[in-house]
């Protein structure tokens, strides 16, 4: 089954901010009905489900978003610790989700604690990209 989404925020922006959440859901539902009728008329068996993932009962981990800089570096065969960490945490969440909701919650808590720990131990230069650039510039000038 193919899934296409009509996002509530996009709908309200398209209406100049005047759209309500209920109106967006009605529009999404109607859009799904019209599209399904058109697909059926055209001879396709694909159906569009207008509901969101939670309403459909989908229990799936969102695909991780890897920042563009990291993605481009890895495309040039430069391995990155950040990219590896993103993929490792994703795999942990997928495995935990398969084991059950309790395990997923435990995994998420552990990852949040790990993030807090990593942020707490960063040096001020790592915390601020602008400071890091300034520091590099200063080293070049001296």
Beta-carbon-side half-sphere exposure of residue 67 (alpha carbons within 13 Å): 10
pLDDT of residue 128: 62
Cα–Cα distance, 84 to 53 (Å, whole number): 27
* Contacts for 93 with CB less than 8 Å, ≥ 6 apart: 61, 104, 107, 108, 111
pLDDT of residue 1: 46
Q: Note the pLDDT tens digit of each residue in 97-138.
A: 889 889 989 999 999 999 888 877 776 555 566 666 666 666
Residue where the block lists tokens 């959440």: 21
pLDDT of residue 48: 87
Handedness of CA 115, 116, 118, 124 (dihedral sign): positive
**How many CB atoms neighbour CB 28 within 10 A?**
20
């Amino acid at each position: 089954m193919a899934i296409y989404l009509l996002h509530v925020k996009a709908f309200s922006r398209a209406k100049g901010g005047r759209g309500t959440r209920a109106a967006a859901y009605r529009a999404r539902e109607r859009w799904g009905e019209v599209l399904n009728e058109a697909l059926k008329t055209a001879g396709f068996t694909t159906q569009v489900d207008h509901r969101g993932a939670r309403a459909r009962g989908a229990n799936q981990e969102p695909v991780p978003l890897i920042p563009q800089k990291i993605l481009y570096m890895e495309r040039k065969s430069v391995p990155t610790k950040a990219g590896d960490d993103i993929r490792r945490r994703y795999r942990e969440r997928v495995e935990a989700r398969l084991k059950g909701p309790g395990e997923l919650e435990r995994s998420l808590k552990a990852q949040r604690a790990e993030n807090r720990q990593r942020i707490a131990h960063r040096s001020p230069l790592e915390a601020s990209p602008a400071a890091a650039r300034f520091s590099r510039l200063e080293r070049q000038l001296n």
